[in-house]
Structure 1
Amino acid sequence: MDRKSYEKQLVGERAADYIRDGMIVGLGTGSTIAFTIKKLGERLKRETLNITCVSTSNQTSELAKSLGIPMKELNEVSHIDLTIDGVDEFDPQLNGIKGGGGALLFEKIVAKASKSNIWVADGSKEVDILGAFPLPVEVLPFGSQHTARAIREKGLDPKLRMDGENPYRTDSRNFILDCHIGKITEPERLSQWLNALPGVIENGLFINIVGKVLIPEGDNDVKVIGK
């Protein structure tokens, strides 16, 4: 296992310790969260944990169900106590970019429904200013070229995400435009502008959502950033 994979496992497994008996838990999507889900599956085998989980993607649902983790649809629960998810990039204000795995819409819906949110990340995801990671924007296929043109005129350099020779499709069957920006100096303003654009479903800027971020520290420890 290389260093980055080890760091993902370290923080992913540690995040599972935040899950308590009686919780309704949101499970994010991605390679780091996969370690959280597997660790939770192990805990369920050796502990008496009465929990219910809500997924942010088909991929996560399949993994969780294969490990015997009780799952429900978001509309079947009244609230979510805690959501644990990965992040592609986060800044000192704990704002972040998500959507590298294509699940940004469901991830944001679940995060907004949660009382508390934790992100897990390897050390490379901590940055001074957002924007080095391309910002995913989920758009309707209908008129997507016109939506991309409007975004391009804003200077955001959108690229249609591909899956082989065909456009990548989200779980909602939408397209994703990855916007190569470089530096995002006003993330909240940019998020509002994007979401007001006809054809845009949601963008990957997660602002004032997360309370804690877990990142590796040293060889075997985890640093908690936030409250």
Structure 2
Amino acid sequence: MTAEDQKKAAAIAALEYVHPGARVGLGTGSTANHFITALAEKVKGGLDVECVATSRASFQLASRLGLKMTTLEKQPHLDVTVDGADEFDANFQLIKGGGGALLVEKIVATSSRYMVVIADQSKKVETLGKFPLPVEVVPFGVNATGWKIDRALRICDLQGKLKLRLKDGKPFVTDSGNAIIDVSIGAIPDPRRLDNLLKSIPGVIDHGLFIDICGVVLMGTDDGVQTFRKG
């Protein structure tokens, strides 16, 4: 199976976590798109759900496929969020944000009873950090915020290469109007400590470390979908 086949298999398996009448958070990215498409097929078959999207792109896809959309303002408590991940480890810690929607993804996921991650087997790692960690920052004082991020890394005895994310040669802008600094670290032995330090930096809106949020991981493999449940 290709990675895309594994993602699709995991996405289809995630439908088991969606019950009639559920309020569902929809993730962002290629893996989440597989779930949105699969969910839309179930809705065509009679399943009644309401969905909250984590990005304009996901909202547009879901709406085009006929899913009933709502907002956290109208439905502040969701039953489940299904989303992909750039990395996950055995402790259900994640790196997310490769698609640039990490802030809204985290808000939606933490507004849900539980979060289900769908992924191909390449996303499972022993230690987080091979994938660059996205840090969402306000546009004002980006270089100053970057310096503080670098200082936080050093406090954790880490070294990282910071790079302002660009799109078409210009600074990438999130749906919330912020910038993203991608931090290439290599390995993050203590994600919780780095999580706390980054959150304390003025100018940092949030970051792609998802700690104590995910409860289920569905991982597509050549031999089918493996299920990992926390606790």
Do they fold alike, i.e. is TM over 0.5?
yes
**Aligned twin of 1:26:** 25
Separation of aligned partners in 2, 1:128 and 1:137: 22
**Aligned twin of 1:188:** 192
* Contact in 2 for aligned 1:213/1:226 (Cα 8 Å): yes
Shift in CA distance, 144/7, structure 1 to aligned 2, threshold 3 Å: same
TM-score with structure 1 setting the length? 0.95
Separation of aligned partners in 2, 1:200 and 1:132: 21
Cα offsets for 1:12-36 (capped at 9, x unmatched): 1221232110111101111011011
**Aligned twin of 1:7:** 6
TM-score with structure 2 setting the length? 0.94
* Contact in 1 for aligned 2:120/2:221 (Cα 8 Å): no
Structure 2 unmatched runs, 5+:
none
**Aligned twin of 2:85:** 87
1:99 paired with 2:97, answer: yes
Identify which range, 143-152 or 133-142, moves more after superposition. 143-152
3-state secondary structure, aligned to 1:173: coil
Matched residue pairs, number?
224
1:141 paired with 2:132, answer: no
**Aligned twin of 2:228:** 225
1:165 paired with 2:169, answer: yes
Separation of aligned partners in 1, 2:162 and 2:113: 33
Structure 1 unmatched runs, 5+:
none
Which amino acid counterpart does residue 65 of structure 1 have in structure 2?
S
Separation of aligned partners in 1, 2:73 and 2:128: 32
- Please report the RMSD computed on the Cα atoms of aligned residues, expressed in angstroms: 1.2
Separation of aligned partners in 1, 2:41 and 2:168: 35
3-state secondary structure, aligned to 2:214: coil
Shift in CA distance, 172/78, structure 1 to aligned 2, threshold 3 Å: closer
Separation of aligned partners in 2, 1:133 and 1:14: 25
Identity %: 46
Which amino acid counterpart does residue 42 of structure 1 have in structure 2?
E
**Aligned twin of 2:72:** 74
**Aligned twin of 1:121:** 119
Which amino acid counterpart does residue 87 of structure 2 have in structure 1?
E
